[in-house]
Chains A and B, each alone.
Chain A
Amino acid sequence: MADNTSDIKLNADSFKPVAANNVDEQEKISAPSLTFFQDAIRRLRKNKAAVFSFWLLAIIILISIVSIWWTPSDPNAQHVAYANLPPKIANGSIPGFTGKANVGGNIVDKYAAAKVPKGTYYVLGTDYLGRDLFSRLMKGVALSLLIGLLATLFDLVIGVPYGIISGWKGGKTDTIMQRIIEIISSIPNLVVVILMLLLFTPGLGSIVVAMGITGWITMARLVRAETLTLKTQEYILAARTLGESPLRIALKHLIPNLSSTIIIQTMFSIPTAIFFEAFLSFIGIGIPAPNASLGTLLSDGQKTFRFLPYQMWYPAAVISIIMIAFNLLADGLRDAFDPKTQE
C-alpha cells in the first residue's frame, strides 16, 4: 500500500477540505487502478534477484539466437593438430586466458607447441578434436534452451487441457483421468524417459517427446486443482446459466484465471528439461555426436576433467547459471502472482 501512494504528487492544494456534499470527490480513488498482471509485474520489479535473472536470461537467449547464424568458428569443424588447447584471449595477457598449461610441473605455451599461427586464439580453448569450445558452448546453450522450450510445450498442449477437462467434468471422468495420472507418476519419470529413448533413435526430437510424455503430469495436477476451485465461482455459474459452451468457458474464463499457475509452472519446467537433457547426454543416451548441447559438453569435459579442467568448468558454470537464473525468476514470479506465499 505504502508504495502505491508514493507516486502521488502532494502539494498545498491537496489539503484543502472538500465540499461536504461532494461525495464523488471524497470517494475518488486517486491511485491508478492496476490489473492483476500490472500488479504482479510491479511486485516482480521489486525482487532484485528475479529482475537480474530476467535480464541475464534475456542476454543468454539473445546470444543463443545469434548462434543460429554466427559463431566465432564452425562448432563442428575439427583441427586435430590444435587439440586440447587451453583458453587464450588476444596475446594471452589476461590471467586464466594465457594459452599456457601446466604439463608435468612445467608451464608450457600450448599454442607455440601446437604451432598455432600468431593472432589465432580460442577464448575457451579447444576440445580433444580441436573444436572451438566457445562456439560449441554457444550452440550447446541454444540447443539446451530449445529442448527446454519444446519440452514445456507439451506441458501446455497436454497438461493444461487434461487438467481442465479432468477438473471440469468431475465424477467418473475425473476419477479415471486421475487414476491414469497416478499410474504414470508412480513410475520414476527418468525410467520412462530412458525407455522411450531406447525405443526412438536418439536425437533432439526423441528427447523432447520422451520428456514430454511424463513432463505434463505436474501441470495437469495443478490446473485440475485450480479448475476445481474456479468451477464453483459465481462468474462461472453465471456463464453456464447464460448457456455458454464449456469450450468457451474454458477459453474465456478458466484459462485467463489459470494463467499465473501456468506461467509459474512453465518457468519451473524449463530448467527441469534442461537438467534432464544434460543428464541424458551425460550418461550417453542424449544428443548424438557431433552436435553440442550442455550435456554433451559436460560429458566430454568430465572424461578429461582431471587434466584439462577448463573443458568442463565453463559448461558446468554456464548450466549452473542458467538453472539458478530460471529458478530465481520462477520463485520471483510465484511470489509476484501469489503474494500470499510471500511473508
Chain B
Amino acid sequence: MVGAITRTPLQNDDTILLPERIGDLTGLDAYGTGGELLAIFLAAFLIGNLMLAMTGVAGPWAKRKITAAFTDRIAVNRLGPAGILIIVADSVRLLSKELIIPENADRPAYDLAPIVIASSALLGFAVIPMGSGIHLADPEVGLAYVFAVAGIASIGLVMAGYASSNKYSMLGGLRAVAQNVAYEIPLVVTGMSVVIFAGSLQMSTIVEAQAATFDLGIVSIPAWYALVNPFAFVLFLVANFAEVGRNPFDTPEAPTEIVAGYQTEYSSVYFVLIYLGEFLHIFLGGAIIATIFLGGPAGPGPAELGIVWFLIKIWAVFLLTQWLRSAVPRVRIDQLIEIGWKGLLVLSFANLVLTAVIVGLIA
C-alpha cells in the first residue's frame, strides 16, 4: 500500500552554492566581481581536483583490486598499505614514458582530442549537487547542460580516431560516433521522464523532489526515481553504459578486435588524459544516475554527510561497471546499434509517454 506522498517545499532560492560559501569564508566577497570570480575558480578547482583524485584512485588501484577479486587473483599489494602507493608509482611511470606521435597524425586535432575527452567530463560536474554544500552552479537547465557537455566527448573520440592516421583508430572513431548517436537519444529521452516527474531541469529541484518518502506502513522508503520508476532507471543505466563505452558496450575500444580503437596511437601523457577522461565519464555517468535516480546526496544521518553518500553512490555505479566487465561478453557493433535504435529508443519513448500520462493523471 502506497501511502500519501509528502512533499517538502522547494527551497531552490535558499540553496547556497559553493562559490558563495567560499566567498563568505575567505572574505573574497568584499572585493567585488573580481573576488567573486576568484571564489568561483577556487570552487571549480576544488571540485575538479576531487574528481581527478577519484580517477587517480580508481584507475591504477581500485580497478585492479576489483578485477583481481573477480578473477580470484592477488593484485597490487607491494607498495604501501594494500598497495595504495601504486598510484604514485604509476603516475610517475605513465608520465615519464615516451610520447610517440605518428608521422601522419593530424596535429592540432590529435593533440586536442585527449583534452576534449577529459575536460568534457569535468565540465559536467559543475552542476551536480554533491551534498554538504558542494555544488558549483545551479542553472535552470542543469540536466540539459550535463547531457550537452557529456556529449562533447564524442567529438573528442572522433577527433582521436580520425587524427591518428591509423585504421584501427578510424574504425574505433566510427564505432564511437555510431554508438554515441544511437544511445544519446534514449539517454536524454529517459532523462526527460525524470524531468516530467520533477517538473524542472534544475538539478537541485530534481534532488529535492526525491526527498519525499513513501509510507509503506511500517517502513518508509525514499521516493527516489529509481524506486518510483525502476523501468526508467534500468533503461538509463543501459544507455549510460553504452554512452560511456563500458562493457558490454565497449565496442569503440574493443581490445581484441580493433586493438584499442581510437586510443591505439596515444601514449604517455596523452594516454593518461584519455584514460582519465574515460574514468571521469564513468564517474560523471554515476553522478548523473545518483542525482536523478538515487536522490543525489540523500542518505541517513545528518545532511553534512551528503558528500559521503553521494560518493558511495558514484562508486557503486563504478563497481557495477566492473562487475559487468567481469561477466558479460561484448556485443557486436551491429547488434549494439540494433539494440540502440530498435530496442532502447522505442522503450525510452514508451517510458516517456507512460510517465507523462501517469503524471498527468495524478496531477
Q: Decide if A and B are genuine partners.
A: no
